[in-house]
């Protein structure tokens, strides 16, 4: 393992300290318990949008705290959910009196810790709702698994609901919108090379030179199947086919296409893949009306990509276009 770290056990704390130095527009509480909140929070009579999860997915979630997106985020240890008291502390810093919406990715640990936190927050008399995000089509949703994972689609939920909260939407509306985005978004990813968690020191799986993992999540875990590397257009088809079949998306749908790097794939390959994906979608009669390309929902230095498709309507497109001002996503103001 070769990493720019001091002590493997202090990686998250030290990274949060650095983030605090880089972003005075945020309040970054880096220890006991750790959370990140807009410096101008709590904002009276605005719904607080709070998300969180393990670290190692940067810029998710802390990089998306700011006007037009998240009110606060709570980072857990690398690839490990935050604890209930972290969620509680983030909510306490964010709550402006109009209720709180917790956006949670569907992983057992995240769900259990946010569920416990929501009980504690509710006991304080705060109106709290939870929406669980589960956009990953690589996992078959059935009674026999923990259900689909929440992956890159999380960013789209956070952006759209954050825009609504910024505009003064009430808690019912924010919750409805979050569920609408969850119902309209699907993702799938692949890995060319694994990542190494600092406290583990060893790669999360081992691939031969010509092997790739299809259907990975965002925690360095292996995917659903292992295949051979292929040209980009074939890889893109491998990812988009199950995504399109799942919702299902139908020809003529207006869509947002989000091409995400798992951390270690350079922008040149991302744009190439994005172009391939747009061509395939156009060919099948979809209208790609919005695009996002970049490393936004990562697994440390894992090489690979995920493709996320969101079915748009006027309401979602308008909220997507609304101004946002966060460390990692910024436009329109």
Partner 1 sequence: MACDGSSMVAAWLGVAEVIRAHRDELVRLDREIGDGDHGENLRRGFDVVAERLAAMDAATPGAVLKSVATTLISTVGGAAGPLFGTALLRAAKALGDRATLDGTAVAEALAASSEGVIARGRAEIGDKTMVDALVPAAKAAESAAQRGDSASGVLAEAARAATRGAHDTVELVARKGRASYLGPRSAGHLDPGARSTELILTSLAASAGSLGEGS
**Count of chain residues binding partner 1 (CB under 8 A):** 37
Residue 302 Cβ, how far from partner 1 at the closest point, in Å?
A: 12
Active site residues: 57, 219
Q: Name which of 64 and 107 has its Cβ closer to partner 1.
A: 107
CA dihedral 266, 230, 186, 58 (to 10 degrees): -20
SS3 182: helix
Residue 294 Cβ, how far from partner 1 at the closest point, in Å?
A: 24
Q: Name which of 186 and 219 has its Cβ closer to partner 1.
A: 219
202 binds partner 1 (CB under 8 A): yes
- Name the strand (E) or helix (H) holding 254: strand 254-261
**Residue 326: partners with Cβ closer than 8 Å, 6 or more residues away:** 63, 64, 65, 66, 67, 68, 69, 70
Residue among 184, 159, 174 nearest 60 (CA) = 159
Q: Name which of 204 and 260 has its Cβ closer to partner 1.
A: 204
Cis peptide upstream of residue 123 (ω within 30 degrees of 0) = no
Residue among 202, 265, 191 nearest 229 (CA) = 191
Do 236 and 277 form a contact (C-beta atoms < 8 A)?
A: yes
197 binds partner 1 (CB under 8 A): yes
Residue among 184, 168, 90 nearest 134 (CA) = 184
141 binds partner 1 (CB under 8 A): no
Residue 69 Cβ, how far from partner 1 at the closest point, in Å?
A: 24
Residue among 96, 122, 116 nearest 40 (CA) = 96
Q: Which residues pair with 266 in a beta bridge?
A: none
Cis peptide upstream of residue 262 (ω within 30 degrees of 0) = no
Which residues from 71-110 bind partner 1, rule CB under 8 A? 76-85, 107-109
Contact window for partner 1 (CB under 8 A) among 141-149, 152-160, 280-288, 319-327: 141-149
Binding mask 255-294 for partner 1 (x = CB under 8 A): ----------------------------------------
Which residues from 146-165 bind partner 1, rule CB under 8 A? 146, 149
Residue 76 Cβ, how far from partner 1 at the closest point, in Å?
A: 5
Q: Name which of 43 and 50 has its Cβ closer to partner 1.
A: 50
Enumerate binding residues for partner 1 (CB under 8 A). 9, 33, 54, 76-85, 107-109, 112-113, 115-116, 138-139, 144-146, 149, 197, 199-200, 202, 204, 217, 219-222, 224
């Amino acid at each position: 393992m070769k990493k720019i770290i001091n002590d493997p056990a202090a990686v998250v704390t030290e990274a949060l300290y650095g983030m605090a130095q880089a972003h005075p527009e945020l309040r970054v509480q880096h220890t006991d318990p750790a959370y990140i909140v807009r410096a101008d929070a709590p904002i009276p009579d605005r719904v607080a949008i709070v998300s969180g999860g393990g670290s190692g997915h940067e810029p998710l979630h802390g990089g998306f705290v700011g006007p037009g997106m998240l009110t606060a985020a709570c980072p857990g240890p690398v690839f490990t959910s935050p604890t209930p008291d972290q969620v509680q502390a983030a909510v306490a810093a964010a709550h402006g009196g109009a209720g709180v919406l917790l956006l949670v990715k569907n992983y057992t640990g995240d769900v259990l810790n946010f569920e416990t936190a929501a009980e504690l927050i509710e006991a304080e008399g705060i109106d709290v709702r939870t929406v669980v995000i589960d956009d990953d089509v690589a996992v078959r949703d059935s009674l026999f698994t923990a259900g689909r994972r929440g992956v890159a689609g999380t960013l789209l939920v956070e952006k759209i609901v954050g825009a609504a909260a910024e505009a003064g939407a009430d808690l019912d509306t924010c919750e409805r919108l979050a569920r609408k985005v969850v119902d309209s978004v699907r993702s799938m990813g692949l890995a060319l090379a694994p990542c190494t968690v600092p406290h583990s020191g060893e790669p999360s799986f081992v691939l031969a030179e010509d092997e790739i993992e299809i259907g990975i999540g965002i925690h360095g875990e292996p995917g659903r199947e292992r295949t051979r590397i292929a040209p980009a257009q074939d890889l893109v088809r491998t990812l988009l086919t199950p995504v399109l079949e799942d919702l299902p998306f139908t020809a003529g749908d207006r869509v947002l296409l989000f091409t995400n790097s798992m951390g270690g794939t350079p922008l040149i390959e991302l744009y190439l893949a994005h172009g391939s994906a747009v061509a395939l979608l156009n060919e099948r009669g979809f209208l790609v009306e919005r695009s996002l390309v970049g490393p936004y929902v990562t697994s440390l230095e894992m090489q690979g990509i995920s493709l996320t498709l969101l079915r748009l309507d006027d309401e979602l497109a308008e909220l997507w276009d609304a101004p946002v001002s966060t460390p990692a996503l910024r436009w329109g103001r």
